[in-house]
Structure 1
Amino acid sequence: MKNYTRQTSILLALTIAFACKQQPAKQETVQTKQDSIIMVSDDFVFGDNRPFPQCHASTLVRADDGTFLVAWFGGTHEKHDDVGIWLSKGKPGRWSVPIEVAKLREEPHWNPVLQKTSAGSIILYFKVGKLIDVWETWYIVSGDNGATWSQAKELVPGDKGGRGPVRNKVLVLSNGTWLAPASNELKGVWNAFVDRSENEVKTWQATPYLTLNRDSVPGEGIIQPTLWESAPGKVHMLLRSSAGVICRSDSEDYGKTWSPVYKTNLPNPNSGIDLTRLDDGKLVLIFNRDGKNWGARRPVSMAISDDNGKTWPVVKDIEVGEEGDEFSYPAIIHFHDTVALTYTWKRQRIAFKMARIE
């Protein structure tokens, strides 16, 4: 196997016809123009001198002052009782020392998700529980760009298994509704749904589980959606799956009901994905592209679609590494024509990168 260094950043300007198999109507594979992905920043949020042996599942948001907040879970290792939620603030090359901002009790904490509201406050959601089956969803709020945080509150008191955003960011729709991409992993069976809030976190209503043909998607199922709205009321999601590819579902009614899940041709090894929709409508996806279920979590790659996810003709490997390396659980946001992204780097660091999309 050919080895690559961490600095490898080769633009694969191949017209890869990742044509999604839309249902029920057949959709054409459209050749789109070759967009450019120009890397403008390559950094780590912290170095080897860190107060936890392992870290994973990062999230990021851009504060009103132009700095970035990055959060992740860290501790001895995933699922260990000492794992808490950590956070750093800054810009490339100038990051604050990581601090633990959430540790409710001596049980594992998981999957933080940052969200900036229209009023400028920042919400940090996270999970608590020894097992995914009994996850609780909690959140804290900052009104000063992450300098201080409120006391933690449970998102849906008494609900087990996970409510609200399970890993990826909340989507605020054109009508003001908040959609949280959610999923459950109960007794090894994975199902996805959406949590809807029409009053900005005060109450949440879960949709039914998405309809999934488990003959088409063998194994555990689908989890960890990432959402976008293409036009008022028209909402879409891509999902991590156990089928060796990314799956998709669509809504015509602001996320109240969803189409049956269908497979795309985007490969994925049953690892985290995330997506952002630029101001001009382009979709930018960050993902691992090994096509084997539970395959390699490398390389971590970026893909661009300008036809609402029908085709993904531009793919760029952000980091390739060597056999056995892990670059996983990416998160991505955008501002203007620039994307900022983070991902787990060998479970030892959180990588932070920025790219301009031309």
Structure 2
Amino acid sequence: MIKLTNLLRTTISAFALLAMVNTGRAQSIPNPWRTGIVTDEFVYQKAPYKECHAATIAETPKGLVASWFGGTKERNPDVCIWVSHRVNGKWTEGVNVANGIQNDTLRYPTWNPVLYQVPGGELMLFYKIGASPGTWKGYWKTSKDNGYTWSDQMALPEGYLGPIKNKPVMVGKNLTSPTSTEGKGGWRIHFEISPDLGKTWKMVDVAKGTDTIDAIQPSILTYKDGRLQLLARTKNRAIAQAWSSDKGMTWTPLSKTNLPNNNSGTDAVTLKDGRQLLVYNHVLPPGKLAKGARTPLNVAVSKDGKTWYAALILEDSPISQYSYPSVIQTKDGMVHFIYTWRRERIKHVVADPAKFKLVEIKDGQWPKVEGYELPVIKGETKDL
């Protein structure tokens, strides 16, 4: 009995040692698509609502501010706009700053907040109110104290929606908002330009192009030679692009890039070193389908907006969805991503772009690297 017990102890110890060795080996092999990430956190763990979506982020003189919409479910009338600040390394509890109450008997959901910090000025918050994207209207507020208190709600001029998902860009003295419509005229991209920070506006259309591309939710990239580039979500299984050589007053017709799109939101930012950064789901929908899974969530970098290099995979679980990312670069050079995590929470990831290990994306395929396998997505995904 004693000999059997000793043998059993020896066997268990051997298996434990083997497990420790194998675990050590696994931990010693870093995920090649996480190089450069310095922070990976949730904005909150619990909230007084079931679902959330469409986060946005801005850097104010007093630090980071984030916003998103949250409620029972997208399109539900109780969906409101929430705001949180990152203070001493932690996000504060979300505060409800806007709702869709029209009167005692009518209430609409709110949608797609967009934060923008005017250089040397106020913090802007744009959002939409309405029963659906085809009927919503644009509203905005401003804050003089970095998003802790807000002005009264202001309606944008009739027909104007403000930045539809992604942040505006200051082009010279013009606040240039990337926007789009999804109403009776189908999916169309346009820009709303204000020379006086929202007092007056003008609209610039973008043609669908020979491929009749259905696109929404553009973002804006800038180049040292003065050109602008838009990148946008489509129903055409590819990210769309267009170019402007006159500060956004006119644009080339839309065309497809060589990057796939799963009919889900993207965002992009021009880095301080002149490179372009794109965050998106690198997913090609199967067959002729326009929609695909909202996982994984990827980051690519380019010098010219044409040749793209794989940089990061922010999420790679086969459990969808990781979607609607927003991205900014802060004054310290770090890149901040904020996005929907399974519609349950909002995720915040910080990365150092100087540490990215880039691999060229060829023929629209995310590169294969030794020691890493892309997730296998089986069946249909929810909330596409």
Instruction: Tell me the TM-score normalized by structure 1.
Output: 0.85
Amino acid at match of 1:108: P
| Alpha-carbon shift at residue 10 of structure 1 (Å) | 3.2
2:205 partner SS: coil
2:164 partner SS: coil
Structure 1 gap ranges (5+):
1-7, 13-35
2:134 partner SS: helix
| Alpha-carbon shift at residue 9 of structure 1 (Å) | 7.8
Quote the Cα distance in structure 1 between the aligned partners of 2:295 and 2:88. Answer: 23
| Alpha-carbon shift at residue 185 of structure 1 (Å) | 0.3
Quote the Cα distance in structure 1 between the aligned partners of 2:91 and 2:333. Answer: 23
Quote the Cα distance in structure 1 between the aligned partners of 2:76 and 2:192. Answer: 28
Amino acid at match of 1:350: I
Q: Tell me the residue number matched to 1:256.
A: 249
Segment of structure 1 superposing worse, 113-122 or 69-78? 113-122
- Higher RCO (Cα < 8 Å, 6 or more apart): 1
Q: Tell me the residue number matched to 2:360.
A: none
More strand per residue = 1
The answer as to whether partners of 1:9 and 1:318 remain within 8 angstroms in 2 is: no
Cα deviation per residue 1:293-336 (whole Å; 9 max; x = unaligned)? Answer: 21000001111112x2111123321111124x200000000024
Does the alignment pair 1:112 with 2:123?
Answer: no
Quote the Cα distance in structure 1 between the aligned partners of 2:181 and 2:156. Answer: 15
| Alpha-carbon shift at residue 119 of structure 1 (Å) | 2.3
Q: Tell me the residue number matched to 2:371.
A: none
Cα deviation per residue 1:95-124 (whole Å; 9 max; x = unaligned)? Answer: 111111011412010000000002231000
The answer as to whether partners of 1:55 and 1:73 remain within 8 angstroms in 2 is: yes
2:173 partner SS: coil
More helix per residue = 2
Does the alignment pair 1:171 with 2:166?
Answer: no
Q: Tell me the residue number matched to 1:320.
A: 316
Q: Tell me the residue number matched to 1:64.
A: 61
1:145 partner SS: coil
Cα deviation per residue 1:143-183 (whole Å; 9 max; x = unaligned)? Answer: 00111110010121x33xx522000000001x211110010
Structure 2 gap ranges (5+):
1-28, 102-106, 355-384
| Alpha-carbon shift at residue 88 of structure 1 (Å) | 0.7
Cα deviation per residue 1:203-254 (whole Å; 9 max; x = unaligned)? Answer: 1111124233345x4xxx1000000221364111001111111010000111
How many pairs align? Answer: 316
Quote the Cα distance in structure 1 between the aligned partners of 2:265 and 2:294. Answer: 9
1:270 partner SS: coil
Quote the Cα distance in structure 2 between the aligned partners of 1:123 and 1:201. Answer: 10
Q: How does 1:227-242 map to 2 (within 5 A)?
A: 227-231=220-224, 233-242=226-235
- Structure 1 vs Structure 2: percent identity of aligned residues? 34
Q: Tell me the residue number matched to 1:213.
A: 210
Quote the Cα distance in structure 2 between the aligned partners of 1:121 and 1:250. Answer: 29
Q: 1:86 aligns with which of 82, 87, 109?
A: 82
Q: Tell me the residue number matched to 1:349.
A: 345
Cα deviation per residue 1:331-352 (whole Å; 9 max; x = unaligned)? Answer: 0000243100100000010000
The answer as to whether partners of 1:140 and 1:149 remain within 8 angstroms in 2 is: yes
- Which structure's CA Rg is the greater one? 2
The answer as to whether partners of 2:166 and 2:219 remain within 8 angstroms in 1 is: yes
Q: Tell me the residue number matched to 2:52.
A: 55
Q: Tell me the residue number matched to 2:358.
A: none
Quote the Cα distance in structure 2 between the aligned partners of 1:150 and 1:113. Answer: 16
Q: Tell me the residue number matched to 1:42.
A: 40
Q: Output the aligned Cα RMSD.
A: 1.8
Cα deviation per residue 1:276-306 (whole Å; 9 max; x = unaligned)? Answer: 1111101111100111121000001111112
Instruction: Tell me the TM-score normalized by structure 2.
Output: 0.79
The answer as to whether partners of 1:169 and 1:181 remain within 8 angstroms in 2 is: yes
Q: Which runs of 4+ in 1 moved over 2 A?
A: 8-12, 208-215
Quote the Cα distance in structure 2 between the aligned partners of 1:318 and 1:265. Answer: 21
